[in-house]
Amino acid sequence: MSDRVLYSFRRCPYAMRARMALVVSKTRVELREVKLSAKPDAMREVSPKATVPVLVHGDGAILEESIDIMRWALGHTDPEGWLARDDAALIAENDGPFKHALDRYKYPDRHDSDALEHRAEGVKFLRKLEARLEKNPQLCGETRGLADAAIMPFVRQFAATDRDWWAKVDLPRVKAWLAGHMESPLFKTVMQREKPWKPGDAPIALALQS
Protein backbone atom coordinates (compact mmCIF):
# COMPACT_ATOMS: atom_id res chain seq x y z
CA MET A 1 0.00 0.00 0.00
CA SER A 2 1.24 3.49 -0.87
CA ASP A 3 2.08 5.99 1.85
CA ARG A 4 0.03 8.55 -0.10
CA VAL A 5 -3.61 9.04 0.89
CA LEU A 6 -6.36 10.46 -1.30
CA TYR A 7 -9.49 11.75 0.40
CA SER A 8 -12.19 11.59 -2.24
CA PHE A 9 -15.93 11.51 -2.88
CA ARG A 10 -17.05 9.28 -5.70
CA ARG A 11 -19.53 11.66 -7.31
CA CYS A 12 -17.59 14.91 -6.92
CA PRO A 13 -16.38 16.12 -10.35
CA TYR A 14 -13.20 17.58 -8.86
CA ALA A 15 -12.39 14.25 -7.21
CA MET A 16 -13.25 12.36 -10.40
CA ARG A 17 -10.71 14.26 -12.45
CA ALA A 18 -8.03 13.88 -9.82
CA ARG A 19 -8.64 10.13 -9.72
CA MET A 20 -8.45 9.89 -13.50
CA ALA A 21 -5.02 11.50 -13.56
CA LEU A 22 -3.79 9.31 -10.71
CA VAL A 23 -5.05 6.16 -12.43
CA VAL A 24 -3.76 6.99 -15.90
CA SER A 25 -0.35 7.87 -14.42
CA LYS A 26 -0.42 4.61 -12.39
CA THR A 27 0.17 6.53 -9.17
CA ARG A 28 -0.53 4.31 -6.20
CA VAL A 29 -2.55 5.88 -3.40
CA GLU A 30 -4.71 4.75 -0.52
CA LEU A 31 -8.29 5.75 -1.29
CA ARG A 32 -10.40 7.11 1.53
CA GLU A 33 -14.00 7.70 0.50
CA VAL A 34 -15.53 10.65 2.36
CA LYS A 35 -19.13 11.12 3.42
CA LEU A 36 -19.63 14.83 2.91
CA SER A 37 -22.09 15.16 5.78
CA ALA A 38 -19.61 13.52 8.17
CA LYS A 39 -16.12 14.49 7.03
CA PRO A 40 -13.43 12.64 8.98
CA ASP A 41 -11.34 14.53 11.51
CA ALA A 42 -8.19 13.15 9.89
CA MET A 43 -9.01 15.05 6.68
CA ARG A 44 -9.95 18.24 8.53
CA GLU A 45 -6.65 18.16 10.43
CA VAL A 46 -4.53 18.11 7.27
CA SER A 47 -6.86 20.33 5.21
CA PRO A 48 -8.96 22.78 7.24
CA LYS A 49 -11.02 23.79 4.22
CA ALA A 50 -12.25 20.17 4.21
CA THR A 51 -13.16 19.85 0.55
CA VAL A 52 -12.32 16.87 -1.64
CA PRO A 53 -10.03 15.86 -3.16
CA VAL A 54 -7.07 16.08 -0.80
CA LEU A 55 -3.85 14.21 -1.52
CA VAL A 56 -1.57 13.66 1.49
CA HIS A 57 1.99 12.53 0.82
CA GLY A 58 3.95 10.38 3.21
CA ASP A 59 6.26 13.31 4.02
CA GLY A 60 3.28 15.43 5.07
CA ALA A 61 3.05 17.51 1.89
CA ILE A 62 -0.54 18.21 0.87
CA LEU A 63 -2.25 18.99 -2.43
CA GLU A 64 -5.76 20.40 -1.96
CA GLU A 65 -6.71 21.40 -5.50
CA SER A 66 -7.76 18.78 -8.03
CA ILE A 67 -5.95 20.40 -10.95
CA ASP A 68 -2.75 20.50 -8.89
CA ILE A 69 -3.13 16.79 -8.13
CA MET A 70 -3.60 16.09 -11.84
CA ARG A 71 -0.55 18.05 -12.93
CA TRP A 72 1.58 16.65 -10.11
CA ALA A 73 0.73 13.03 -10.99
CA LEU A 74 1.23 13.55 -14.72
CA GLY A 75 4.43 15.48 -14.09
CA HIS A 76 5.89 12.28 -12.66
CA THR A 77 4.41 9.76 -15.10
CA ASP A 78 2.46 10.65 -18.22
CA PRO A 79 2.19 7.52 -20.39
CA GLU A 80 -0.49 8.97 -22.68
CA GLY A 81 1.06 12.42 -22.98
CA TRP A 82 -1.84 14.20 -21.30
CA LEU A 83 0.22 17.28 -20.41
CA ALA A 84 0.77 17.94 -24.10
CA ARG A 85 -3.00 18.30 -24.43
CA ASP A 86 -3.62 20.78 -21.65
CA ASP A 87 -5.45 24.09 -22.04
CA ALA A 88 -5.25 26.17 -18.89
CA ALA A 89 -7.58 28.88 -20.22
CA LEU A 90 -10.30 26.43 -21.22
CA ILE A 91 -10.06 24.65 -17.88
CA ALA A 92 -10.27 27.99 -16.06
CA GLU A 93 -13.43 28.83 -17.99
CA ASN A 94 -14.85 25.44 -17.02
CA ASP A 95 -13.93 25.89 -13.36
CA GLY A 96 -15.17 29.48 -13.28
CA PRO A 97 -18.13 30.64 -15.40
CA PHE A 98 -19.32 27.17 -16.42
CA LYS A 99 -19.20 25.76 -12.88
CA HIS A 100 -21.00 28.89 -11.65
CA ALA A 101 -23.79 28.32 -14.19
CA LEU A 102 -23.87 24.58 -13.49
CA ASP A 103 -24.38 25.04 -9.76
CA ARG A 104 -27.23 27.49 -10.27
CA TYR A 105 -28.86 25.31 -12.91
CA LYS A 106 -28.58 22.13 -10.84
CA TYR A 107 -29.43 23.69 -7.47
CA PRO A 108 -31.70 26.72 -8.15
CA ASP A 109 -33.34 26.60 -4.71
CA ARG A 110 -30.00 26.56 -2.93
CA HIS A 111 -28.78 29.57 -4.92
CA ASP A 112 -32.12 31.35 -5.37
CA SER A 113 -31.44 31.33 -9.09
CA ASP A 114 -33.27 31.02 -12.40
CA ALA A 115 -32.35 27.51 -13.55
CA LEU A 116 -33.17 28.09 -17.21
CA GLU A 117 -31.17 31.32 -17.35
CA HIS A 118 -28.12 29.57 -15.97
CA ARG A 119 -28.63 26.55 -18.21
CA ALA A 120 -28.47 28.91 -21.17
CA GLU A 121 -25.23 30.36 -19.80
CA GLY A 122 -23.79 26.88 -19.47
CA VAL A 123 -24.75 26.01 -23.03
CA LYS A 124 -22.58 28.89 -24.30
CA PHE A 125 -19.53 27.05 -22.96
CA LEU A 126 -20.75 23.74 -24.34
CA ARG A 127 -21.09 25.29 -27.78
CA LYS A 128 -17.47 26.35 -27.53
CA LEU A 129 -16.59 22.71 -26.86
CA GLU A 130 -18.81 21.65 -29.76
CA ALA A 131 -16.86 23.93 -32.10
CA ARG A 132 -13.57 22.44 -30.94
CA LEU A 133 -14.86 18.93 -31.42
CA GLU A 134 -15.75 19.73 -35.02
CA LYS A 135 -12.00 19.81 -35.68
CA ASN A 136 -10.77 16.94 -33.51
CA PRO A 137 -12.35 14.04 -31.62
CA GLN A 138 -10.93 15.40 -28.33
CA LEU A 139 -10.64 18.92 -27.01
CA CYS A 140 -6.95 19.34 -27.77
CA GLY A 141 -6.29 16.86 -30.53
CA GLU A 142 -6.82 13.33 -31.73
CA THR A 143 -6.52 11.63 -28.35
CA ARG A 144 -7.66 12.40 -24.82
CA GLY A 145 -5.60 14.65 -22.64
CA LEU A 146 -5.62 16.67 -19.46
CA ALA A 147 -8.21 19.16 -20.74
CA ASP A 148 -10.68 16.39 -21.53
CA ALA A 149 -10.31 14.73 -18.14
CA ALA A 150 -10.48 18.05 -16.29
CA ILE A 151 -13.68 19.19 -18.00
CA MET A 152 -15.64 16.00 -18.67
CA PRO A 153 -16.92 15.38 -15.11
CA PHE A 154 -18.59 18.80 -15.05
CA VAL A 155 -20.23 18.28 -18.45
CA ARG A 156 -21.44 14.92 -17.14
CA GLN A 157 -23.08 16.65 -14.19
CA PHE A 158 -24.66 19.27 -16.47
CA ALA A 159 -26.06 16.57 -18.78
CA ALA A 160 -27.53 14.60 -15.88
CA THR A 161 -29.44 17.57 -14.43
CA ASP A 162 -32.31 17.21 -16.92
CA ARG A 163 -31.84 14.11 -19.07
CA ASP A 164 -34.93 14.74 -21.19
CA TRP A 165 -33.68 18.20 -22.14
CA TRP A 166 -30.17 16.86 -22.74
CA ALA A 167 -31.52 14.24 -25.14
CA LYS A 168 -33.02 16.99 -27.31
CA VAL A 169 -30.36 19.71 -27.23
CA ASP A 170 -28.31 20.10 -30.41
CA LEU A 171 -24.80 19.26 -29.22
CA PRO A 172 -24.02 16.04 -31.11
CA ARG A 173 -20.25 16.16 -30.82
CA VAL A 174 -20.26 17.05 -27.12
CA LYS A 175 -22.70 14.21 -26.49
CA ALA A 176 -20.54 11.71 -28.36
CA TRP A 177 -17.38 12.95 -26.62
CA LEU A 178 -19.03 12.70 -23.21
CA ALA A 179 -20.42 9.23 -23.88
CA GLY A 180 -17.03 8.02 -25.06
CA HIS A 181 -15.35 9.15 -21.85
CA MET A 182 -18.09 7.78 -19.62
CA GLU A 183 -17.91 4.40 -21.31
CA SER A 184 -14.12 4.21 -21.19
CA PRO A 185 -12.32 1.66 -19.00
CA LEU A 186 -10.54 4.57 -17.29
CA PHE A 187 -13.75 6.23 -16.13
CA LYS A 188 -15.30 2.95 -15.06
CA THR A 189 -12.17 2.22 -13.04
CA VAL A 190 -12.22 5.53 -11.16
CA MET A 191 -15.90 5.13 -10.30
CA GLN A 192 -15.20 2.20 -7.97
CA ARG A 193 -17.67 2.08 -5.07
CA GLU A 194 -16.31 2.07 -1.53
CA LYS A 195 -17.85 2.63 1.88
CA PRO A 196 -16.97 5.87 3.67
CA TRP A 197 -13.61 5.55 5.42
CA LYS A 198 -13.26 5.59 9.19
CA PRO A 199 -10.17 5.30 11.39
CA GLY A 200 -9.07 1.72 11.83
CA ASP A 201 -10.39 0.52 8.46
CA ALA A 202 -8.11 -1.66 6.38
CA PRO A 203 -6.43 0.39 3.63
CA ILE A 204 -8.10 0.32 0.20
CA ALA A 205 -6.07 1.09 -2.89
CA LEU A 206 -7.29 3.31 -5.67
CA ALA A 207 -7.88 0.76 -8.43
CA LEU A 208 -5.45 0.96 -11.33
CA GLN A 209 -6.06 -0.30 -14.84
CA SER A 210 -4.07 -3.36 -15.85
Domain map of the chain by residue range?
Answer: 5-81, 82-184
Q: Is a pLDDT exceeding 60 seen at residue 166?
A: yes
> Binning pLDDT at 50, 70 and 90, where does residue 2 land?
confident
| CA gap 34, 36 in Å, rounded | 6
Q: How many other β-carbons are positioned within 10 Å of the β-carbon of residue 4?
A: 19
What one-letter code names the amino acid at 92? A
Q: Is a pLDDT exceeding 60 seen at residue 147?
A: yes
Q: Is a pLDDT exceeding 80 seen at residue 209?
A: no
Instruction: Tell me 98's DSSP state.
Output: I
Average pLDDT over residues 150-170: 98
CATH topology of domain 5-81: Glutaredoxin (3.40.30)
**Confidence (pLDDT) at 181:** 98
Q: Which CATH architecture has domain 82-184?
A: Up-down Bundle (1.20)
Question: Phi and psi at residue 54, in whole multiples of 5°?
Answer: -130, 130
Cα–Cα nearest to 68, from 49, 48, 88:
88
Q: Decide if 5-81 and 82-184 have a common fold.
A: no
pTM of the model as a whole: 0.96
> Binning pLDDT at 50, 70 and 90, where does residue 93 land?
very high
CA dihedral 167, 168, 174, 177 (to 10 degrees): 30
| CA gap 185, 201 in Å, rounded | 28
| CA gap 24, 79 in Å, rounded | 7
Q: Is a pLDDT exceeding 90 seen at residue 199?
A: yes
Q: For 26-59, what is each residue's pLDDT tens digit?
A: 999 999 999 999 999 999 999 999 999 999 999 9
Q: Is a pLDDT exceeding 80 seen at residue 103?
A: yes
Question: Phi and psi at residue 119, in whole multiples of 5°?
Answer: -60, -45
Buried b (16+ CB within 10 A) or exposed e, 30-40: bbbbbeeeebb
| CA gap 140, 3 in Å, rounded | 34
Instruction: Tell me 202's DSSP state.
Output: P
**Confidence (pLDDT) at 1:** 56
> Binning pLDDT at 50, 70 and 90, where does residue 154 land?
very high
